[in-house]
Every structure is written in structure tokens, then in C-alpha cells.
Structure 1
Amino acid sequence: MWDDLPTEISNNILHRLPVKTLIKCTILSKSFLSLITSHDFISTQIAQHTNSHLLLRYFTNDQQELFHFEPDDETFSGFQTQGLVNPFPYIPGIWCTVAGCVNGVICLVDDCGHEGTLTILWNPSIRKFVEVPEPIMVYETYGGYESASGFGFDSISDDYKVVRVVRLLDLGPKFGGTQVEVFSLKSGCWRIIGVGPSYSIKRRSSEYIPCFLNGSVYWVGSRFVCPNNENVIVKFDMSTETFEIIQLPGVVKVSESKYTPILDFYVQECKGKLALVNRNYKDEIKSCSVWVMKEYGIVESWTKIFDFNIDNLSPCGMPRAFGFRKNGEVIMVKGVRRMYTEGEDNVLVSIDQVTHSETTFRKISADRTSFYLSTYEESMVLFKEGKGIEQQTSQLKSVPPKKRRFDGEKKSRRKRKN
């Protein structure tokens, strides 16, 4: 009966099936396997997605990394599932940041206080992953450095890319400054594309994870311009592989001096627009604000859409807005738990931007700085390129944790002193 259906109808039916069902269909026949794993089918399936999920990632008190996937619709009642444990046991003790989540693929990078040389592309809906080769710029050849990574999709070349901005700490005409390298999933290799932005990019915390929106990666950036710190948003276009600087609203653009915190904000996506979350605990009235750029590239279009008074809380106990639902509600984590303190819970809440009404989801005993939220769409991406989670080799599992980048920085400083 299936063979009697017109191709257009049969394809339309398959495109509506969940990924788990599609995987089962691939073992029914060679024709199903060929169709469902074809590039055109996967691209069409992504384009026709209507049911989105929320991805929540955090580290528990016992350093277990959990991922929750919940439908983002009217039935959403919080992150009630048990959670999926990070399936990569060969990187114990290394805090990986999420460099991005695009079309069902999550990019994990060990740039949170480490070298940033281990990168994994992981599609949890099909249980497959790709371990990205070691980048070009490493300590052995370039000396001490700091790196920040981003992940996204290049719609022009139809390619998934990882961009790595590396601030080299060794002085000299050959190595000094910032360099940028890009990994292409299609080519399977890295290439250095040139000099990076003159702004330092914040890293080492999930609060400053980059945002991928409309073909570009966005980071928080800053630099000291006497006598103040200048804060900006750094944009990298995945297709043209060029940088652009986006100015912030004047109220959050410049810190008072080089001695005040220079990065009290981070970037997010809110209903398809670039959003800025600003935590202000320096003024008389302490607050957590959300700004949205209504018209892309127009600085004057920055509009404050949410302002939460946190005047009664200390800086370490500040609520943190770390993501948005499809309907625009702000997901926040509230609690007074300090980093590395055991036994206290954080409370996840969703707040309506207009009425400020609050819905409490659940308490989670976790490191408050590790919460990450993103939209997630199931897909068949990496089905051909990736290896199954159960196919992890003994060689992968035996890879020792990377050297801490700080060791390289110390060596580099010694060289300069000598």
C-alpha cells in the first residue's frame, strides 16, 4: 500500500514523523534508509518543524551534567523529566560549555577554564556524535592563550561550523593579538581565517554562552578604553566569516571604571530577536533587565521589555534570567545558593513579561552558574557523519583531561619576564 502512494504524499507523511520513528523506518528497507538519510529529506524535515522543545542543561552538586528536553507548548509544566546524563565519560572533571545548539546538534567545548581544544558535536535525538579534530592553535605551537568558541549553521554553503576566537598571550609580530579559526563539518578540518576583533570575549561561565541567531554567532565583548570599560556585542557571520560590533543601550555600554565589573550582561534570543540580559547591582536600586533590539542594527531600537527588582538580595544571590520560552516568558533561576555550597536548592520560575506573574517549576540542587537554556528541534543531522554513543572506542575513553590553560599562561608570563 505504501508503494502505491504518490511520492509527494508519502514524503509528506514521513516528514511529520518524530525522529525516533524515522530511525525505526531506516531499518525497514534500503529505500527508506536512502530517503530518510538523504540531505534533501533532512533539510526539509528541519524546515517543516513546528513543535519545538526547551533544552535545559546544568551541573548537579555531585558534578553530574544533565540535559532535559521538554515540549515548549501549552502543556509545559516545567522540567519534570529525570534528565539525560552527558554520555561522554572520557572528559571527567572538565567543565564544557555549550557553544551552541542548532538544528538538533549541541556543540560542547572545553573552553570553560581549559584549553578549548576538545569539541564535540552531539545529536542526542539520534544518539550520534562527531568529535572535532584538535584545532590548529594549541599551546605547543602558539604558547599561552585564551579561547572562546561559537557554533552555528551556514545556510549559504549548507554547512555546520565551529568558530574559535583565540587571544594569544605571547608577544611578538608572529603570535601577538587575536586570531580566528573555523571548523567546517563538510571539510572535516580547521583553517585560520585571520585576525579577530579587538574586544575580549567573555567565557568560563555558562552565563556568557554565545547566541546563534539568523546565521550569526553573538558574544559579549569588552575592552578597556581609558578611563572606562567599553562593553559591546561581537557578531560573527557564519556565511561571510566576518565580524561586526553591535553597540548596546547607553545605560549598559560603559562601566564606571576599570575597577568595576565589566561584564554584567549576556546575550540571548527572544522570539527571533537579539536580546540582552543586564544585571545591575551597582546602582541604588538593584535590578535584572531584559532588552530586545526591535530593528536589527539600529541602536536606538533597543527596548527594555522586562525589569525585575532584586534590591533585597546580595550580588551572589541575584536571580538570573537565562533564557526565554517560545511565548516570550522569561525563565529565571532564583535562590541564595553560592557557588560550591552544598545542600541548598535553586528554584526555576517562568515570568510573564507583561503581567510579571510567576510560575514556579521545580527546585534543583545544582550550580547556579551552569544553567543553560535553548530551543531544541529534533533532527536527523549527523546520522551519516556521526558515530553512535555506544561506539565510543577505548581510545576515546582513555584520553586524559586536557592541561589547564592557566599553566600555559604562567609559562608564557615567565618567558616575557625573562
Structure 2
Amino acid sequence: MIQSPSFISKPLKQQYNNPLHDDCLIAIYEYKASNTFYFEAIQIWFSERYKVITYAKLDDNPPYNHNVCGPCDGLYYLWSEHVLGNDRGLWNPALNEYKALPLIDTEKLNTPYNLALYNWDSCGFGFDPVTQDYKVVLIKFFTFDGDLVLSLPPCVLVYSLRTNSWKYVMDLPKFYNLFNNGSDVIVNTSLYWLASEDQNTDNAEVIIVFDLATNKCRDIQLPEHRTKITIQRNDGCDYECLMVYHGDIAYVTVDDVNNCFDVWALKAGCWAKKLTMGLVVEVQEPLGQWRDGLLVFQGQSGTTLILCNLDTQQTWVLTGLPLDSDRRCGFVCPYQESLVSLHDVTTWIYKQDKCNLLYTS
């Protein structure tokens, strides 16, 4: 019964309609001394105020894959730019399952002569409702001898879980410099990334949008009157990000000088400034989104996590976390549980197709 598509789909739909179910975060910690990463699930108690009540190490997570996209139906895409070989995979922490993705065959790509693909990716992960398939999207850049990133249009690769294979889809229409700030956000069937049109620019200028259903790409200009970032990214921090706010894509920019941040939301093709929120504690950078309207920041010292409720404009320092100068949190994302098994997900998708077809008939 628990392997049937109807049973698996039912709890997925229930958890999306019940925001109180998402009372956990996944936090990625880094040990500075050893440059190792690990994952923990943090349970947050919010009956009266937001407070960490428990945290537990997630068993058997891949030790080198410290970058995360997701969740999508309780699944996460993990990757690392520091490990040679097969360092990409899909992960279901609830079932303690990990599926290594196949290597990318660069010989089949439309790679320019005497150039190679850059080791760093801009990534996204989501579900295509048209083909009923989970997809990983990579935007990769070209280099010469692995040293210089060239200002050539990046190429887009898509991994299909249904076929367990990578496919070259397209080149972007021009060069974009995409930032590694956890800005990949999915709304409906589209993935969003912050980017600039100049390789030497450290501040975002546009948003790149990729539609999973059509494999088409476009860009969106950021708000014209937004607060410009004055702090360079070479300090290792990012002072802007994307998030979902009331179901719309939103752009967040942090004013480190005045200790506040602005939130702009895009609706019907127009940007509108939703709020400017001051902070009673100093923040360093946004780490990720917990739920719609709840944003998590890293504290200025790097040893605290700060939760901001955009609707009530309240701020809480999450206490009870085992953070110190050697053990810091670098990224957070919502924790979702599901019964979607990575070992037989292709069979499950096929069965789900048949169920949907019978239901439609």
C-alpha cells in the first residue's frame, strides 16, 4: 500500500496544504578547521516564540556534497565543486536514501574548440508536471585551461530522473555571471537565479528564469529603484537573495550599514516594494528560506541564526544551536518528509502516469 502512487501522492499534497507540518530546517554546518560539512535537522518550536528545541545529525549523508537545491517532494539535489569524479546526487533524508547521478559526457556537448566546462555550476531542481519527471538543471561556464572563466554564453544541461541521463538543452542567449548565494528558487514550474551581465560586476542586475516544462530561458530586470549593494562579494558573504513571498518570486537586498533589508515582489510582470524591515540584531547574510514569509539570516558573528517573519516584522535569535567559531552554519532549507523512493522512483513515476491517465479518463 505504501508503495502505491496514490498513497505516496496523498501525504505530499497534505504537507503542502499544512504549513504547520514544516516545523524543521535542514542546516548545513562547516567545521572550519577540517573543511568538512555535515547536515542536521533542526526542530523549531513556535507555539509562543521561535526556539530550537532539538537537533539531530542526519545519518549517512554524503560527506562531500555540501551544496543543496530543494526540497521538491521531500527530495534534494546535492553537489560539490571540491571533489573530483561523481559528486552529484539526489537525496531523500527521511528514507535515508542517496542516488548518485551519472557523469556528464562532455564529448557529447556543444563545447567550443579548445575550451572546457568550468567546474562550478549554477543549479536548480524541480518537478516537471508535463512529463511527470524530476529534473536537475545545470548552467555551466566555459574556461580556457581551467584558469580563466570566459565571457561566452553558458550552456544549460538537464538531468532527467525518468531516463537517469543528462541532456544538453541550449546555450543562454548571452553571457551571464550567476552568483553562488543559494538564490535558486522555484515558483510553479520555473527556476530563478540572480545574475549580472558583466563578469566583473559583483552585484546582481537581472534574474535568469528557466521553465522546466518548456526548456526555455529568459531574463527579468531587477527593480530599478532598489537599494544597490555597496559591499563586495569577495568577503565571502552575499547581501542579496531570492525567495518566495506570498506565492510570488521576491528579491531581498540587505543594507549592512543601516542594518535593515528590503523586499520586492514580482507580480504580473511588475515589481512592487513590499516592505523595509529593520533588525534589532546585526545580520551578515541571508542563508535561506524556511517557509513563505520566513527568512533565515546568519548573525554578524557567524555563530547565530536569526529568523525574520516578514508578515509580522518580528525577529528571533534561534537559541540552543551548537554554533561556535569553528562550527558555523552556511546554508539552511526546509525539511520535508516523503515516501518517494529514489531506488524505484522511475517505476513509481510510470505507475503515477497510469493512475493519472485512468483518473482523467
- TM bracket, shorter-chain basis: 0.7 to 0.9
Which ranges of structure 2 fall in alignment gaps of 5 or more residues?
146-150, 346-361
Inter-partner Cα distance in structure 1 for 2:196 and 2:29: 27
Provide the C-alpha distance between the structure 2 equivalents of 1:239 and 1:261, rounded to a whole number of angstroms: 33
Match of 1:232 in 2: 206
Which whole-Å CA distance do the structure 1 matches of 2:290 and 2:269 have between them?
A: 24
Q: How high is the sequence identity, in percent, across the aligned residues?
A: 21
Q: Does 1:274 align with 2:246?
A: no
Contact conserved, 2:45 with 2:53, CA < 8 A, in 1? Answer: no
Pick the aligned partner of 2:101 from 125, 128, 132.
132
Paired residues of 1:350 and 1:360 also in contact (CA < 8 A): yes
User: 1:174-204: CA deviations, max 9, x gaps?
Assistant: x95311110000111111011125311112x
CA distance in 1 between counterparts of 2:330 and 2:249 reads 20
Give the counterpart of 1:81 among 54, 73, 83: 54
Cα 1:380/1:227, change in 2 over 3 Å: closer
1:97 positional shift: 0.7
Answer 1 or 2: which has greater helix percent: 1
Tell me which of 173, 176, 186 is aligned to 1:199: 176
Residue-by-residue CA offset, 1:189-246 (whole Å, 9 max, x unaligned)? 111011125311112xxx3341222222111111229999661111111111111212
Output the CA distance in 2 between the equivalents of 1:332 and 1:381. Answer: 30
* Structure 1 residue matching 2:8: 3-state secondary structure: helix
Shift of 1:133: 0.6
What RMSD in Å do the two structures reach over aligned CA positions? 3.6
Kept in 1: contact 2:240–2:285 (CA 8 A):
no
Shift of residue 54, structure 1, vs aligned partner: 3.1
Higher Rg: 1
C-alpha distance in structure 2 between counterparts of 1:228 and 1:361, whole Å:
30
Q: Tell me the equivalent position of 2:337.
A: 378
Q: Tell me by how many angstroms 1:125 deviates.
A: 0.9
Match of 1:121 in 2: 90
Alignment of 1:101-180 (within 5 A): 101-111=71-81, 118-137=87-106, 143-145=116-118, 146-170=120-144, 177-180=153-156
Q: Distance in 1 between matches of 2:273 and 2:211?
A: 21
Question: 1:51-71 deviations in whole A, cap 9, x for unaligned?
Answer: 223323222435341221436
Q: Is the contact between residue 97 and residue 209 of structure 1 (CA under 8 Å) also seen in structure 2?
A: no
Identify unmatched segments of 5+ residues in structure 1. Answer: 1-34, 338-345, 387-418
- d(CA) in 2 for partners of 1:123 and 1:60? 21
Q: Give the Å deviation of 1:154.
A: 0.9
For residues 378-411 of structure 1, what are the alpha-carbon distances to aligned partners after superposition, in whole Å with 9 as ceiling and x for unaligned?
111125437xxxxxxxxxxxxxxxxxxxxxxxxx
1:306 aligns with 2:277: yes
Can you list the C-alpha shifts for 1:250-305, whole angstroms capped at 9, x where unaligned? 2448678xx95596411122343322221234xxx433414141515323x24334
Residues of 1 paired with 2:167 and 2:74: CA distance? 25
Q: 2:41 aligns with which of 68, 93, 100?
A: 68
* Structure 1 residue 132, shift from structure 2 partner: 0.9
**Partner SS for 2:197:** strand
Shift of 1:98: 0.5
